[in-house]
Amino acid sequence: MGLTLTDLCAILLVVPLALLLRDRLKQKNNLPLPPGPKKYPFIGNMLSIPQAFEWETYARWGRECGSDVIYLEGPGLSLIVLNSVKSVTDLLDKRSAIYSSRPRSTMVNEFMGLSWLMSSLPYGKLWMERRRIFHQRFHPSDSAVYRPRQLAHVHKMLLQLVKTPQEFMEHIKYMNGGLTLSLAYGIRVLSKNDPFITLSERVAESLQSLSNPHTFLIDSIPLIRYIPEYFPSAKRMAREWHPLAARLRDAPFAAAQKDIVGADGVATPSFVSRCLENLVKSEDDDKSSYEIIKDTAGVFFLAGSGSTTAAIYTIILALMQSPDVQAKAQQELDEIVGRDRLPDLCDEASLPYLSAVIKEAFRQEPVPLVSLPHSLMREDEYEGYRIPAHSIVLGNAWAMLHNEADYPNPELFRPERFLKEGKLNNDVRDPIAISFGFGRRACPGSHIALSTVWLTTASILSAFTIMKPVDSDGKVIEPSMEYFSGVASQPLPFKCDISPRHSGVKALIRGAIDSDGEGMDT
């Protein structure tokens, strides 16, 4: 998405003023800034900051500068990129007290109406309230809250794969969307084109285009907010997205409330129903409590379904490209689980090769490739460099997970790198610890996402074989291996041939669905 004529005119008007103001506000500190690519007078790195696949460019600049920490700047923009686990640990983890806020995005918060997103909130009371209530209802130690529904939704998806395997991407998307809808609101997805899942997908697509911290000048040059909306600019486009964000926050919450009333207060258990029940018991009629519940449910639905779906797509693509890896994982499943039942999450500890496959998928294509931006609350010093206050700080997960010192030949898909003598090797850095954010802003629902990814992968491999498709002439169709460039790394739509591994697969799946019982009702 390039710069419009309006944006360029605004740059010429406000860049000198913004730079002058920035220089005057800088604290007197003689330490140098971290190294970075060449800067130009007045505009700094504005023209060179990448707007797509930025993780690769950031990693290259780090190698060229000989530094794990690089600095870029533009009008009103100070950007720090951390390319190593050490720098992320030292700053975003150990100094999380000052690195845990978020930069305020005029585009996302004001024009798009997404200021309620937990991931957008600055570090403080509002964010902590929402994080706390999520942990209370989805604590990692209480898997009984979500495990039965995971099984039910995965099994239902497997049956859809038997019927229409060519629509596997849709089946996986609706499985994850349906699971998060059920857990968040107690809403059951009855058919394709579910309005809530479609709405979530549209909002996620709008956020994908805003993943880069310098995509829209409106975030780095506040004066651009006063450009009239009838000019062709990103501001006008964001106004069109605003009502979608409002509906995503309000509509499923209202549907959950309606179900509770219609069921005389006894509704399908969900995050919303449990929270509202707690409010009634505590006689808490404070409007802000309802807003906290509504916001937290909305961000869980939006973030949970999209990122998990993207990770599963990546795993399927990798297994289709690596039939030898797929065969080893299936052999392990046959030995441990057998063919008389489907895998359960209790099997995970006994399937190290499958766990290594999932770790390798997260390593090769993490979701996201670059962390959501942190904001430094006050000026800091690191490794002899000055880190300006209010800098946007990014952790480059892709660079860390393609570091040859930790992962030799990182371009190869090799689950064996995580194994030693048939067991998971704890001496190899676990990519899962890097794939879900850093410090206090790490994803609070990562345990649900990971268990859903594991269960889905194990179940598909146990029941199906994944192969490259062939055309009418019998020629193999090679996937493009191309990915969207955005917040969540997701492969472009691709085809694959998914077929049952044996004649009893359909009956096995139907038997599992019948035994799911209550879980399937949600």
**Binding-site residue ranges for heme:** 443
Which whole-number Å values give the CA distances from 469 to 90, 240, 370, in the listed order? 46, 39, 32
User: CA-to-CA distance for 232 and 219, rounded, in angstroms?
Assistant: 17
On whether the CB atoms of residues 490 and 310 are closer than 8 A, the answer is: yes
Q: Residue 317 belongs to what H/E stretch?
A: helix 287-321
Q: Which residues are annotated as a binding site?
A: 443
Residue type (1 letter), 365: E
Angle in degrees, CA 409, 368, 211, rounded to 5: 125
The residue behind tokens 């919450």 is 253
DSSP 322: -
Helices (H), 322-391: 323-336, 352-364
User: CA-to-CA distance for 130 and 128, rounded, in angstroms?
Assistant: 5
Sheet holding 374-375, edge to edge: 69-74, 77-82, 392-395, 374-375
φ, ψ at 281 (rounded to 5°): -65, -35
Cross-strand partners of 304: none
> CB atoms < 10 A from the CB of 341, how many?
13
User: CA-to-CA distance for 75 and 219, rounded, in angstroms?
Assistant: 10
On whether the CB atoms of residues 161 and 168 are closer than 8 A, the answer is: yes
User: CA-to-CA distance for 304 and 447, rounded, in angstroms?
Assistant: 11
The residue behind tokens 């700094």 is 44
3-class DSSP assignment, residue 232: coil
In three state form, how does the secondary structure of 129-180 look? HHHHHHHHHCCCCCHHHCHHHHHHHHHHHHHHHHHCHHHHHHHHHHHHHHHH
Dihedral angle sign, alpha carbons of residues 198, 229, 106, 286: negative
Which whole-number Å values give the CA distances from 139 to 131, 135, 243, 387, in the listed order? 11, 5, 32, 35
